[in-house]
Amino acid sequence: MTEDTLAGGAARAHSPAVAAAKARRWGAFYYAEQVLRVMKGYTWSILMYSVGQPVAYLFAMGVGLATLVDTGNTAFGGVSYLVFIAPALLVSAAVMTAANEFTFPVMAGFKWRRTYFGPHASPLTPGQIAAGHIMAVTLRLVLQSALYFAAVALFGASPSGWGWAGILVATLAGLAFGLPLMAYSASITEDKGQFALVMRFIVMPLFLFSGTFFPLDNLPPAVRWVGWVSPIWHGTELGRVLSFGYGEPPLLTVLHVAVLAAMAVIGWVLTRRRFALRMGQ
């Protein structure tokens, strides 16, 4: 008989020492479970926003507008317009989801609902709480990207056998944008409409000026730099390489991966630091 069972076979709670040891070891997973349980309460909203909206974009732009676009246009890599924009919409959907999950819920955790401080009263560290939040959102990004890619495949918009890897690219792009934003969200003490400004003047311009609907080279040089610093552009270009063999120098493909990974790592380091400061550690 173990210490976790009574004589009659009924389960009993762990001792405080055992529970604390488990929290110290698995705390990030415990908090991730909590975030996922919260998400479960609005599953249909998640599906409609994360999958339904991008699929509507895909149908409207890739099937509707595509009838007016020359499918043989070399500007689109020699593929149909539908195939050209599909990786961009996949990445954009992940970035927009990350923008939502790493702003208002983070503010709620620190100020509105203070959901971070309950777990912090246990042996969970600020780093574990931040990691748990990130793990839950990462799982959401993977699942929604997989569902969206399934829709892309049904439309015949991913001719390459490596197209499925766009799921991982979209997730990485979401984290590359979302983690620095999470660090910023954790630094806000008063809500003065900062997140609305982020959505209007950062997220939407990145969506529109990152080569989503046409090659970046078609933009005027004065705004082309927006794409160069955008995780949406880096993710989109990488997704196109995997989806239909978009022609670009191999070094540029490596650069896309490096930029996205660097942004995610920097965002993670800043987030851990900011969480520790806000929670007094």
pLDDT tens digit string along 143-172?
999 999 998 888 888 899 999 999 999 999
What does the alpha-carbon distance between residue 182 and residue 280 come to, in Å, rounded to a whole number? 18
How many structural domains compose the chain?
A: 1
What does the alpha-carbon distance between residue 19 and residue 185 come to, in Å, rounded to a whole number? 31
Range of the domain at 55: 26-278
Residue 149 near residue 167 (C-beta atoms within 8 A): yes
- pLDDT, tens digit (0-9, with 9 covering 90-100), for 225-275: 888 999 999 999 999 999 998 888 999 999 999 999 999 999 999 999 999
32 lies in some domain: yes
> How many Cα atoms are found within 13 Å in the side-chain-facing hemisphere of 128?
20
4 lies in some domain: no
14 lies in some domain: no
221 lies in some domain: yes
11 lies in some domain: no
pLDDT, mean over the chain: 87
Residue 50 near residue 170 (C-beta atoms within 8 A): no
Three-class SS state of 159 = coil
Token pair of 17, please?
């020492």
First to last CA, the chain: 40
The yes-or-no verdict on residue 9 having pLDDT over 70 is no
Token pair of 256, please?
């896309």
> How many Cα atoms are found within 13 Å in the side-chain-facing hemisphere of 129?
26
Please give the distance of CA 101 from its chain centroid, rounded to a whole number: 8
What does the alpha-carbon distance between residue 84 and residue 234 come to, in Å, rounded to a whole number? 15
- pLDDT, tens digit (0-9, with 9 covering 90-100), for 171-209: 999 999 999 999 999 999 998 999 999 999 999 999 989
Tokens 């799982």 belong to which residue? 139
Question: Considering only CA atoms, which of 14, 48, 221 is closest in space to residue 122?
Answer: 14
Residue 244 near residue 77 (C-beta atoms within 8 A): yes
- pLDDT, tens digit (0-9, with 9 covering 90-100), for 10-48: 556 666 666 556 666 778 998 999 999 998 888 888 778
Q: What percent of the chain has pLDDT over 70?
A: 86
Query: Which neighbouring-strand residues pair with 11?
Result: 5
The yes-or-no verdict on residue 3 having pLDDT over 70 is no
139 lies in some domain: yes
pLDDT for position 49? 75
